[in-house]
């Protein structure tokens, strides 16, 4: 059984059919790329997978359970975490608090324990501190822990968003153009990090990218969409030589 599976999902905005008959099966620990030109519907697919949009047709299952109609905060607890194309950090909070907020459900004390600040509070907060620091370490960001997120350089903000998503302990990580705005060297580093995350945390990764050369190197499987429809799927080599894909990219 696959971890995340979409069956014929579609959504319309007014007259526009943004996504139509999209299906995908992502297995455990798989690294899959979702590519397509601007406006193809990639982000919209993420939004349906994470409960931001309600698909007008089709079904999405995570670990065998349907997530259609569930709230984003329930879906993330079921194991699908995401980042955003236009970075959405808690800008005025510290880097470490950004991560701790995503650890919310792991931190185990109630409102009154939080007010009384007893042993339980201390222990849980200390544990959260350690866990959050460990995640920051993976991205070599420990020294930024107490800085406000908005003061981070752009590339670090993108990484923080991934660290924050990982803090929710996902089974599948959905990354929406994580390399957007990065220079080639930062991009290469990031791709290595993504590979490392997959191996280290043993999770599946679905990666959106519109520059297809970027993902060729690290994804095992690619799905190409254009105008909301799948136009090709297969290994990077198969995609590279696919006429329709070349057409879509040249046409855009």
Partner 1 sequence: MTEKRKRLVINISLILSVYVILFVLIKLKVINRYYEGIMIACLINVILATSLNLATGFLGQLALGHAGFMAVGAYTAAIVTKTVGMPGTLQLLISLVIGGIAAGAMGVVIGIPALRLRGDYLAIITLGFGEIIRVMLFNLDITGGARGLRGIPKLAGFNVVFWVCVLVVAILYAVTHSKQGRAIMSIREDEIAAEAVGIPTVNYKLLGFVLAAFFAGVGGGLYAHYMTVLDPKTFNFMRSVEILVIVVLGGMGSLTGSIIAAIGLTILPEALRSFSEYRLLLYSALLIVMMIFKPGGILGQREFSVQGLLKRLKKPVVEGGEE
Residues that bind partner 1 (CB under 8 A): 50, 52, 71-73, 76-77, 81-82, 84, 88-93, 97, 100-102, 104-105, 107, 109, 111, 114-117, 121-122, 124-125, 128, 151, 164-165, 167-168
Site for ligand ATP in 161-220 (CB under 6 A): 210
- Residue 42 or 198 with smaller CB distance to ligand ATP: 42
Burial of residue 204 (number of CB atoms within 10 Å: 0-12, 13-18, 19+): buried
Binding mask 27-66 for Mg ion (x = CB under 5 A): ---------------xx-----------------------
**Is residue 85 near Mg ion by the rule CB under 5 A?**
yes
Please report whether residue 36 would count as binding ligand ATP according to CB under 6 A: yes
Identity of the residue, 122 or 199, whose beta carbon is nearer to partner 1 in the bound complex: 122
Which DSSP string corresponds to the chain? --SEEEEEEEEEETTEEEEEEEEEEE-TT-EEEEE-STTSSHHHHHHHHTTSS--SEEEEEETTEE-TT--HHHHHHHTEEE--SS----TTSBHHHHHHHHTTTTS---HHHHHHT-HHHHHHHHHHHHHHHHHHHHTT-GGGTTSBGGGS-HHHHHHHHHHHHHHT--SEEEEESTTTT--HHHHHHHHHHHHHHHHHHT-EEEEEESSHHHHHTT-SEEEEEETTEEEEEE-HHHHHT-HHHHHHHHH-
> To the nearest 10°, the Cα dihedral for 90, 206, 231, 63?
-110
Residue 85 binds ligand ATP, judged by CB under 6 A: yes
Q: How far is the CB of 39 from partner 1 (least distance, A)?
A: 21
**Site residues (CB under 6 A) for ligand ATP, limited to 220-249:** none
Q: Given the rule CB under 6 A, which of 36-44, 86-94, 196-204, 233-241 is the region that contacts ligand ATP?
A: 36-44
Please say whether the beta carbons of 49 and 23 come within 8 A: no
Nearer to Mg ion, 44 or 157 (CB): 44
How many residues in the shown chain lie near ligand ATP by CB under 6 A?
A: 12
178 binding partner (options ligand ATP, Mg ion, partner 1, none; Cβ < 5 to 8 Å by kind)? none
Among 40, 75, 103, 219, binds ligand ATP (CB under 6 A): 40
In the complex with partner 1, the residue whose CB is nearer, 153 or 217, is 153
Least distance CB 110 / partner 1 (angstroms):
8
Rounded to a whole number, what is the distance in angstroms from the first to the last CA of the chain? 36
Q: What is the binding site for Mg ion (CB under 5 A)?
A: 42-43, 85
Q: What is the binding site for ligand ATP (CB under 6 A)?
A: 13, 18, 36, 38-44, 85, 210
């Amino acid at each position: 059984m696959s971890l995340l599976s979409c069956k014929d999902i579609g959504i319309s905005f007014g007259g526009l059919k943004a996504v139509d008959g999209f299906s995908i099966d992502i297995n455990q620990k798989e690294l899959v790329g979702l590519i397509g030109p601007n406006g193809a519907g990639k982000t919209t697919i993420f939004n349906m997978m994470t409960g931001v949009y309600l698909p007008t047709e089709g079904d999405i299952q995570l670990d065998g359970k349907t997530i259609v109609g569930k709230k984003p905060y329930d879906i993330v607890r079921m194991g699908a975490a995401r980042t955003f194309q236009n970075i959405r950090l808690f800008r005025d909070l510290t880097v470490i608090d950004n991560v701790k907020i995503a650890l919310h459900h792991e931190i185990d004390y109630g409102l009154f324990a939080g007010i009384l600040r007893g042993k339980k509070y201390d222990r849980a907060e200390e544990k959260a501190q350690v866990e959050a620091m460990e995640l920051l370490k993976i991205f070599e960001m420990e020294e930024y822990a107490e800085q406000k997120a908005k003061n981070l350089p752009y590339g670090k903000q993108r990484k923080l968003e991934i660290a924050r998503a990982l803090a929710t302990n996902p089974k599948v990580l959905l990354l929406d153009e994580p390399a957007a705005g990065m220079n080639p060297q930062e991009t290469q580093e990031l791709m290595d990090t993504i590979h490392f995350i997959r191996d280290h945390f043993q999770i599946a990764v679905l990666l959106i990218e519109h520059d297809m050369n970027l993902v060729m190197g690290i994804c095992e499987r690619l799905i190409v969409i254009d105008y909301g429809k799948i136009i090709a799927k297969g290994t990077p080599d198969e995609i590279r030589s696919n006429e329709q894909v070349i057409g879509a990219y040249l046409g855009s």
